[in-house]
Amino acid sequence: MPGRSRQTGAGGRAAGEAGRSAEEAAALYLRRLGYRIVSRNYRCRQGEIDIIAWDGPNLVFVEVRQRTDGGLAAESIDSRKRRKIVAAARHYLYRLAGQAAELPPCRFDAVCLALPPAGQAEAGAGEAGAGETAITLLKNAFDLSDLY
């Protein structure tokens, strides 16, 4: 079948576990900031949204990104991925529209996890903050105008 295939071997399982771990850390982080999570790993034909949550009156669609190579996680959310997130958000909102009198204000956030390089976690364990995963929330990481 044409297109990208999912890895199903040991590497694919390891990546899946790392992704779930990152999403769990992001969900915990968002809860601590007062977000009320209503859905995780929302999937539809159009795409997937890692976390859907309320931040006050705003319905927030959150993409979780994790990097170990020193690159910025937010940079890995390219225009193709943004379009898929927006399409999935539209699908979610379409379903919500049947249950709500009016649609809430929405936004697209990103939670970025920067993992320490391999080996650094053990070496820096005695230093405050050394070897720890850094978590950053980017509110309004992108909007619809970024796509057109």
pLDDT computed for residue 18 by the predictor = 59
Alpha carbons 95 and 42: distance in angstroms, whole number: 12
pLDDT computed for residue 30 by the predictor = 98
Comparing 12-26, 55-69, 85-99, the range with the smallest average pLDDT is 12-26
Alpha carbons 47 and 85: distance in angstroms, whole number: 6
Helix, strand, coil percentages for the chain (3-state, nearest 5) = 35, 30, 30
% of the chain surpassing 70 pLDDT: 70
Q: What three-state secondary structure class fits 49?
A: strand
Provide mean pLDDT across the span 98-124: 76
pTM confidence score: 0.77
User: 123 falls in which pLDDT band (50, 70, 90)?
Assistant: very low
Tokens 């995780």 sit on residue = 40
In CATH, what is the architecture of 39-116+132-147?
3-Layer(aba) Sandwich (3.40)
